């Protein structure tokens, strides 16, 4: 899978150096929350691109999914996990967070096409 940097138009692979995660404080209006941001970082210009967002609830379902002993239980938790993640993206769209001293706006289009090699 190839990621395109919208800032410098550089195309890069997903590796453990370009796909990262960090605990962040997200704010939107009066609301704030501690979340886990999973993001891509362009190796050319250093710009970041949010990939996913987790909170306690989604991480809980992710854990339950791994621990599930039957397929149906696994599927149930998988569904809840996906729903929570989807809600988080909607909920925090346009929010702000700080990463390495820089304030970013959270923008994530889950339907955005990611180029396949």
Please report how close the Cβ of residue 63 comes to Zn ion at its closest, in angstroms.
34
Torsion of CA 65, 79, 90, 95, to 10 degrees: 0
According to the binding rule CB under 5 A, does residue 82 interact with Zn ion?
no
83 binds Zn ion (CB under 5 A): no
Write out the binding residues for Zn ion, residues 6-35 only, by CB under 5 A: 7-8, 10
Per rule CB under 5 A, is residue 48 in the interface with Zn ion?
no
Question: Is residue 93 within 8 Å of 103, Cβ to Cβ?
Answer: no
Please answer whether residues 69 and 60 qualify as being in contact, where contact means their C-beta atoms are separated by less than 8 angstroms.
Answer: no
The verdict on 110 binding Zn ion (CB under 5 A) reads: no
Question: Beta-carbon neighbour count of residue 31 at 10 Å?
Answer: 10
State the residues that interact with Zn ion by CB under 5 A: 5, 7-8, 10, 42, 44-45, 47
């Amino acid at each position: 899978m190839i990621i395109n940097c919208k800032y410098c138009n550089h195309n890069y692979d997903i590796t453990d150096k370009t796909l990262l995660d960090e605990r962040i404080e997200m704010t939107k209006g009066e609301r704030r929350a501690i979340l886990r941001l999973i993001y891509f970082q362009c190796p050319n210009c250093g710009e970041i691109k949010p990939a996913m967002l987790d909170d306690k609830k989604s991480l809980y379902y992710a854990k339950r999914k791994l621990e599930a002993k039957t397929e149906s239980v696994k599927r149930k938790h998988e569904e809840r996990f996906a729903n929570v993640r989807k809600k988080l993206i909607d909920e925090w769209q346009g929010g702000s967070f700080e990463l390495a001293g820089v304030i970013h706006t959270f923008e994530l289009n889950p339907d955005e096409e990611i180029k396949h090699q």
